Amino acid sequence: MIIAAADGSSLSNPGPAGWAWYVSDDIWAAGGWDHGTNNMGELMAVLDLLQSTAHVDEPLRILCDSQYVINSLTKWLPGWKRRGWKKGDGKPVQNVELMKALDVALKGREVEFEWVKGHAGHAMNEAADERARAAATAFQQGREAETGPGFPASLPGRGAAEFTVGQVDEQPDLFGDAPAEDAPKPVPGTAGPRQKAALVRATRSLFEGGARLHPEFVVQSAAGESATTPWPKAVDGELLSVDGLGPESALVRARVEDRLVALVWVELPGGWALRLAALS
Asked whether residue 7 is marked as a ligand-binding residue, the answer is yes
Asked whether residue 177 is marked as a ligand-binding residue, the answer is no
**Spatial contact of 276 and 220, defined as CB atoms under 8 Å apart:** yes
119 assigned to active site: yes
Asked whether residue 42 is marked as a ligand-binding residue, the answer is yes
89 assigned to active site: no
Of 18, 65, 237, 270, the active-site residue reads 65
Pairing of strands 2-10, 60-64: parallel
User: How many C-beta atoms surround the C-beta of residue 82 within 10 A?
Assistant: 9
145 HSE (CA, 13 A, CB side): 24
Specify burial of residue 70 (Cβ count, 10 A radius: 0-12, 13-18, 19+).
middle
**Which of 137, 134, 167 is CA-nearest to residue 148?**
134
Of 36, 41, 42, 55, the active-site residue reads 42
Name beta bridge partners: 238: 255
Cα-Cα-Cα-Cα dihedral sign, residues 163, 274, 51, 237: negative
Rounded Cα–Cα distance for residues 197 and 154 (Å): 8
**Spatial contact of 251 and 277, defined as CB atoms under 8 Å apart:** no
7 assigned to active site: yes
Asked whether residue 129 is marked as a ligand-binding residue, the answer is yes
Angle at 188 between CA 182 and CA 189, to 5 degrees: 105
Rounded Cα–Cα distance for residues 253 and 273 (Å): 15
Of 18, 48, 55, 129, the active-site residue reads 129
83 HSE (CA, 13 A, CB side): 15
Of 119, 121, 157, 181, the active-site residue reads 119
φ, ψ for residue 20, nearest 5 deg: -160, 150
129 assigned to active site: yes
243 assigned to active site: no
Catalytic sites, residue numbers = 7-8, 42, 65, 119, 129
Show binding-site residues for Mg(2+).
7, 42, 65, 129
Binding-site positions read 7, 42, 65, 129
